[in-house]
């Protein structure tokens, strides 16, 4: 929905409170609610389908009500309403949850789309609404020579990204997105407005401990950094590769990427029988960068480069699709070295090579992500790992989705059989067993204590949320 339409809808709220009975999804007396702070919608409203839809059009869920909130008080009203009518709560900031966790059938969806403001505190600090999109954040920061390390997808919102950790092209230089988070305002599952200034443990939990567990974040206070002036990109491709050659390319990439400076990000991916390697650098060239480029040129078939591009223009190359599509995308393991995944690679690559629409991508972590001070201050549990793999599947024809989903699960089973347990919560897979341990590792029980403090009744929940004790 266009912003001007939301503004028009927001003005309707000034008419005050409106209640009347409505039958929906087995809730025969669920009322429609409007106030100066929030507007509630049901499936009787034209806006309902637009508001409930997430980025992954594969997933279709139908909340009993959607609360379009304009501010913190609106969120508080929505939570009280949900509890009064016995509705569990999900939260949508940008709607990019890969498994559709920002919506639930028969639930209350708290929709934060209108809470997307950016306010400067000083030259190096900003306060933002959780629904602020990355493309809008970069558009505001870059002309002022600042940056917040985030992802590359244009329409991802800062809320969900940073609460789960948040990594991207500049994370090795500046740390995860959550490492720049200084404070949050939250409406708890108990319906109370909480500032993390009064509870450092809440801030710790919000720095990589996942979202939609403890309450609804309504404002985020970030430190921003001096931005790099330029970004250089280098691409390497190899065609019609066999499984053995693919393993050789990947092994070489792992070996060379170990020595890259913090200013670099790199990925190696396989799409069908084509191998791609990407290297980005936001600093000047160095011997390590030149060695990587030289060795990858010898390993791969084709090399192209785009050097010293202005940062804003360079980032736009990675903005990706900006409309809903059907897909499956999930974490496929975090680990320290090639040796940890190598025994499973032949089986994994055989599936990827024969499955059109499937992509296997290996990404660099490490660098500033492993800063001991960042680890101490945040609940993100996977800093020891230097590589992260994601598995992706995209399709257009509905009849191909079933096969892709089946092959997807086959790959994930091979990863699990290899003994790779840690997974990145921002890239969830609904099929993960023991998901709490996979996502939150050593920090799970400490995070569960935060859940018990702020949402002991488990009002905020979805298929893979943190469970309070005994639930």
Q: What is the pLDDT of residues 225-238, one digit of tens each?
A: 999 999 999 999 99
Per-residue exposure over 57-71, b if at least 16 CB sit within 10 Å of its own CB, e if not:
ebbebbbbbbbbbbb
pLDDT at 470: 61
**Whose structure tokens read 């404002």?**
219
pLDDT at 398: 81
Domains of the chain: residue spans and CATH: 3-111 (3.30.43.10), 118-227 (3.30.465.10), 230-431 (3.40.462.20)
Q: What is the pTM of this model?
A: 0.92
Tens of pLDDT along the chain (471 residues)? 333 333 333 333 332 333 333 444 444 456 667 899 999 999 989 999 999 999 999 999 999 999 999 999 999 999 999 999 999 999 999 999 999 999 999 999 999 999 999 999 999 999 999 999 999 999 999 999 999 999 999 999 999 999 999 999 999 999 999 999 999 999 999 999 999 999 999 999 999 999 999 999 999 999 999 999 999 999 999 999 999 999 999 999 999 999 999 999 999 999 999 999 999 999 988 999 999 999 999 999 999 999 999 999 999 999 988 889 999 999 999 999 999 999 999 999 999 999 999 999 999 999 999 999 999 999 999 999 999 999 999 998 888 999 999 999 999 999 999 999 999 999 999 999 999 999 999 999 999 999 999 999 999 999 999 999 866
Q: What is the pLDDT of residues 187-210, one digit of tens each?
A: 999 999 999 999 999 999 999 999
pLDDT at 9: 35
pLDDT at 30: 65
pLDDT at 8: 35
**Whose structure tokens read 């870059």?**
142
């Amino acid at each position: 929905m266009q912003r001007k339409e939301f503004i028009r809808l927001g003005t309707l709220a000034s008419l005050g409170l409106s209640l009347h009975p409505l039958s929906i999804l087995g809730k025969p007396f669920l009322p429609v609610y409007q106030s100066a702070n929030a507007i509630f919608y049901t499936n009787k409203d034209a806006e309902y389908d637009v508001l409930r839809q997430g980025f992954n059009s594969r997933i279709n869920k139908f909340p009993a009500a959607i609360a379009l909130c304009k501010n913190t008080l609106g969120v508080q009203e929505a939570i009280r309403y949900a509890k009064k009518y016995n509705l569990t709560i999900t939260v949508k900031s940008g709607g990019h949850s890969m498994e559709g966790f920002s919506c639930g059938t028969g639930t209350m969806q708290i929709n934060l789309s209108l809470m997307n403001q950016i306010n400067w505190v000083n030259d190096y600090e900003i306060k933002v609404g959780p629904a602020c999109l990355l493309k809008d954040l970069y558009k505001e920061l870059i002309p002022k020579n600042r940056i917040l390390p985030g992802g590359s997808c244009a329409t991802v919102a800062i809320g969900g990204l940073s609460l789960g950790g948040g990594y991207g092209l500049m994370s090795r230089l500046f740390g995860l997105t959550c490492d720049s988070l200084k404070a949050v305002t939250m409406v708890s599952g108990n319906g109370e407005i909480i500032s993390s200034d009064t509870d450092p443990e809440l801030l710790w939990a919000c720095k990589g401990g996942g979202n939609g567990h403890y309450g609804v974040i309504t404002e985020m206070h970030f430190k921003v950094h001096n931005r790099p002036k330029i970004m250089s990109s280098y691409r390497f491709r190899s065609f019609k590769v066999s499984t053995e050659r693919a393993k050789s390319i990947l092994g070489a990439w792992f070996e060379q990427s170990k020595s890259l400076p913090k200013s670099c990000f790199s990925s190696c991916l396989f799409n069908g029988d084509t191998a791609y390697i990407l290297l980005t650098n936001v600093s000047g060239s160095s011997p390590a960068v030149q060695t990587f480029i030289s060795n990858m040129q010898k390993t791969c078939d084709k090399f192209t480069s785009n050097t010293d591009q202005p940062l804003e223009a360079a980032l736009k190359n990675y903005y990706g699709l900006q409309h809903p599509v059907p897909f499956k995308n999930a974490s496929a393991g975090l680990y320290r070295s090639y040796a940890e995944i190598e025994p499973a690679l032949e089986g994994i690559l055989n599936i990827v090579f024969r499955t059109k629409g499937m992509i296997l991508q290996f990404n660099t972590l490490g660098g500033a992500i492993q800063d001991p001070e960042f680890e101490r201050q945040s609940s993100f549990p996977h800093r020891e790992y230097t590589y992260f793999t994601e598995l992706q599947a995209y399709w257009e024809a509905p009849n191909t989705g079933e096969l892709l989903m089946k092959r997807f699960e086959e790959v994930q089973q091979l990863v699990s059989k290899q003994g790779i347990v840690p997974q990145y919560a921002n890239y969830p897979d609904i099929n993960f067993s023991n998901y709490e341990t996979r996502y939150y590792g050593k920090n799970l029980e400490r995070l569960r204590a935060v859940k018990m403090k702020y949402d002991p009744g488990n009002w905020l929940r979805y298929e893979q949320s943190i469970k309070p004790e005994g639930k």
